[in-house]
Chain A
């Protein structure tokens, strides 16, 4: 299948100001995102992960290299609304991306912009609100909702465009644990049930562990790219660039360093519990002998 987003040798630099050198944010990044994938992009602050995300729907255009969205070069100006309809984007602060004073009007915003006929807008807004589980709140004002609910409305506003892919730029960074859980469950549902490709920019390791694929970005370069188990097994590389691994991975890593035979690819709690239980039983048996 053709990739839905494809970046080739993408470089991005903010233009130089007087007396200052231009600042390179992305340095020769190539990545293909295939339809239906659930990809996490990891990196610490200033690693360029948000800048990369903004290249995926033509908010930013590469200084060098090319980005294609569904086969369209993002630099073609006439196609910009096709691109933004194909790849929707959700940002970190839910407060700053809701436009209207009523939930359903906000969800309708993108469709109104696209000139969709009113009856169809109504149907698509209802669908979008149901798919994020916020249909009952359609007549509320955004400021009456919790952070997680607001973020789900923001997601619904993007989903209403029926995009093939959504890019979420740290959507849970400003939420409490419950809100985070709500939003993650929503995103996972959209990916699994509706087949929408998801690119999740995050710095939470446990969120990344749930994805199909993890890409680690540091200093504008792509460092690692693979399934979570593989990526998180590179504990030392991740630590070098200032990223943590999931707690259980770290525990297993510590055990391994201390000479205990623990598998390298532990990323979930249950796996860790099993491994340690096996270890303890094994030792117990050893002791008896």
Chain B
């Protein structure tokens, strides 16, 4: 069961979005968030939704993945919707005891929930189309300037890489230890939450011990391969910003311009 866990949510493919430079993709994702929050009326949000449809279409990521990405944030969406519906004052539509629903409340609720849904679906697309390692790489290079203020950019990226590398190894090991403990009669499937948590202790302790031993050996192996931090390091794979990146950036910028234009010239709906 543990083997089914995938790292991140990368959805392998060869689409235009997959081939985008990770740095550009990260920046564009931020721009998209700006688009969503700049859109103050429904027309602007429609542009946001239009962008999503185009992006998912181009990426060939199946649309059901949108629903999958929305599932964890559903409670938040519901919560904000309820708050907005019941607590915004304005033209009363419905009234019962202490509950009041207003026209403005419903409008804000719809806009907010659409905005959050778009936000999650849009940012998920970044992780769907970028492998964790490319993402780390992109982040390291984007944050490069921070090195000047002694921010440990390279160290953080190295930690990420090693974590990604060792997750499958440690999962495999957890599986093994669990089987070993089960073979000695450990019961991990019954009892309440507390009991199950306690049953995990004999799994976690050997796992930690072995993780430390692995870390020690890895450090030695890295030293043997002349690792000495980020100073003077080169990379085999160079990132290139190409035509595709320019086209995609242009598209996002057009969306942003559209939203701003809508905000300025379209009549407010309320």
Contact = CB atoms under 8 A, between A and B. Distances in A.
Interface-central residue, B162, B169, B214, B236, by most chain A CB under 10 Å: B236
A117 B237 CA distance: 10
A151 to B, nearest CB: 12
Contact of A96 (B132, B161, B217, B233): B217
Contacts of B182: none
B247 interface: no
Interface stretch (A101-109, A177-185, A186-194): A101-109
Given A101-B133, A115-B234, A125-B236, A110 B218 contact: no
A88 B226 CA distance: 10
Interface residues of A, number: 40
A143 B169 contact: yes
A97 B165 contact: no
B71 to A, nearest CB: 27
A104 B133 contact: no
Contacts of A115: 232-234
Interface string B227-253: 110001111111000000000000000
A158 interface: yes
A156 to B, nearest CB: 11
Contacts of B99: none
B218 A96 contact: yes
B224 A89 contact: yes
B153 to A, nearest CB: 15
A81 B226 CA distance: 6
A164 interface: no
A158 B165 CA distance: 19
A158 B217 contact: no
B164 interface: yes
B134 to A, nearest CB: 10
B233 A99 contact: no
Range of interface residues on B (Cβ < 8 Å):
20 to 34
A114 B217 CA distance: 21
Contacts of B232: 115
Instruction: Summarize B's interface: helix, strand, loop or mixed.
Output: helix
A85 interface: yes
B209 interface: no
B19 to A, nearest CB: 15
B82 interface: no
A179 to B, nearest CB: 17
Interface in A66-113: 81, 84-85, 88-89, 91, 93, 95-102, 104-105, 108-113
B234 A57 contact: no
B236 A97 contact: no
B226 A85 contact: yes
A97 B221 contact: yes
B224 A57 contact: yes
Contact of B235 (A88, A89, A118): A118
6 contacts: A59-B223, A88-B225, A97-B217, A98-B165, A112-B233, A121-B236
Interface of B: 132-133, 161-162, 164-165, 168-169, 172, 213-214, 217-218, 220-228, 232-238
Given A97-B218, A114-B226, 20 more contacts: A57-B224, A84-B224, A85-B226, A88-B225, A91-B217, A91-B220, A93-B217, A95-B169, A97-B217, A99-B162, A100-B161, A104-B236, A105-B133, A112-B235, A113-B226, A118-B236, A118-B237, A121-B236, A142-B165, A158-B224
